[in-house]
Amino acid sequence: MTVYACAYDLENEDLCVPAAEKLAAIHRKYQAPATFFCVGRVVEKRGAELRRIFAADPLFDIQSHTYAHRMLRDHSVHGPAIPIEEMWVEIGKAADVLAEQFGVRPIGTRSGCGFEFGMKGERERLRIIADCGMEYISTQLRGPKETIPAPLTQPFTYADDGFPDLWELPAHGWHDNVLKGFTGHPTWFPPIYPFAGRTEPVRNAQEDFEAAQPWVDHAVAEGLTFVGLCYHPWSLYRLDPNCGTMDLLLGYLHTRGVEVVTYTELYRRVSGKT
Ligand SMILES: [Zn+2]
């Protein structure tokens, strides 16, 4: 049975608090869990408010979105990789901050921006990621030549690079900030799926949901392990201060009987670790 792995990239210092508040309420309404991949330096500034919102509720899984959202490897659109020693900051310091603020050390990191091939071929950097205690990463978030949207790539390990216990859990589809027209970014043509060729930004929560729905339907029809779309609290909130997209999407998943899980729960299921 295909599951929906629900995650948000929490990275905007100003909008993360009101957006997380709305999203937490929607998730409590559906009793649907979610992972919040949080930028460390944002949590340093807004930690008290975020702790109040998440309230150690087991529905919410706090993982890392790096310390300062810098490039973990060369990116054809966003520029060169950080020096290798800075990996200890982006991965390790971020984990320290989250552990201090939320009392639980993350085991997963989603990279800023994401890459066509995740961290494949980056052995030295993968070594640091593993040494910082990461058991999974979510870095394969892009389509051909690092365009958007991203295909429905399924979980895999970095065994080919020497890390059979380190998992990659990709994200799929549009990055919602791009779909909403808030961030310019190259898209791929012809579309990677028949339903992935949208050229106009979505204008409201209903259109945003309608752009998401076929990704879910396609994953379920294909019997994939999971589908997980790429959402940002700030852009959901900027489109609609009620974050109505997620009310519609979680309602649809509930109606279709698609289970919603965190990325960490998805990691446990695919890896067999408890
Ligand atoms: Zn990000």
Spacing, Cα 10 to ligand 1 middle (Å): 7
Spacing, Cα 69 to ligand 1 middle (Å): 6
Spacing, Cα 192 to ligand 1 middle (Å): 23
Spacing, Cα 111 to ligand 1 middle (Å): 7
Domains annotated on the chain, with CATH: 3-271 (3.20.20.370)
Distance CA 71, CA 66 (A): 10
Spacing, Cα 120 to ligand 1 middle (Å): 19
Spacing, Cα 37 to ligand 1 middle (Å): 9
Which helix (H) or strand (E) segment holds residue 115: the answer is: strand 108-115
Q: Are 173 and 140 in contact (CB under 8 A)?
A: no
Report pLDDT for 186. 85
Encoded tokens for 159: 């065994």
Which helix (H) or strand (E) segment holds residue 23: the answer is: helix 16-30
Q: What is the pLDDT of residues 131-179, one digit of tens each?
A: 999 999 999 999 999 999 999 999 999 999 999 999 999 999 999 999 9
Instruction: Tell me what percent of the residues of the chain surpass a pLDDT of 90.
Output: 93
> What residues does the ion ligand 1 have nearby, CB within 5 Å?
9, 11, 112
**Mean pLDDT of each 10-residue bin along the chain, 274 residues long:** 98 98 98 98 98 96 98 94 98 98 98 97 98 98 95 98 98 94 87 89 96 98 98 98 98 98 98 91
Spacing, Cα 260 to ligand 1 middle (Å): 22
Alpha-carbon distances of 95 from 64, 86, 238, 241, 248, rounded to whole Å? 7, 14, 28, 30, 32
User: Whose CA is closest to 151, among 125, 118, 184?
Assistant: 118
